[in-house]
Amino acid sequence: MGFWKKAVSGVSAASICGMGYIAYDVKRHKVYSNQTFAEAAKHYFTVRSLYVMGKLMARKLEAATKDIKTAQKEFLLQQLKENKDTQFFQDMQVEKLKHEKMLDSYYGGFFFGG
């Protein structure tokens, strides 16, 4: 048997085992006894995808809170960028405040923990 034939049969076996486990897990997590497998699979994948998205958002939050000063700076500069066409931006000449030292002195250290 050639290398590729063995590789394909190995991948096929792993795929079948993976699909079998997912089918077992879907059946195990059925919400209602009269629920069809298709409905249970939809529910299972919806719940699992929300779980994964929650984990990703939690990691993102953890990363953002490790360096609060940088996160606050990025947030503030993003807000300034999004609102640069507003009347407030033009009246207050916020364009001058883009540098960190100017923002820090203008807001009295509120944004940068001073």
Answer yes or no: is pLDDT of 55 > 90. yes
Q: What is the reported pTM? A: 0.49
The number of C-alpha atoms within 13 Å of 31 and in the hemisphere containing its C-beta is 9
- Place 3 in a pLDDT band, splitting at 50, 70 and 90: confident
Instruction: Write out the H or E segment, with its range, that includes residue 69.
Output: helix 68-82
* Model pLDDT for residues 74-92, shown as the tens digit of each residue: 888 888 788 778 887 777 6
Q: At 70, phi and psi to the nearest 5? A: -65, -40
Closest C-alpha among 66, 63, 76, 64 to residue 112: 76
* Model pLDDT for residues 90-104, shown as the tens digit of each residue: 776 655 655 555 555
- Place 16 in a pLDDT band, splitting at 50, 70 and 90: confident
Percent of the chain with pLDDT over 70: 79
Tell me the mean pLDDT in the region 29-50.
Answer: 88
Break the chain into its structural domains and give their ranges.
Answer: 3-66, 68-106
22 vs 5: CA distance, rounded Å: 26
CB atoms within 10 A of CB 44: 20
Tell me the mean pLDDT in the region 31-53.
Answer: 90
Answer yes or no: is pLDDT of 111 > 70. no
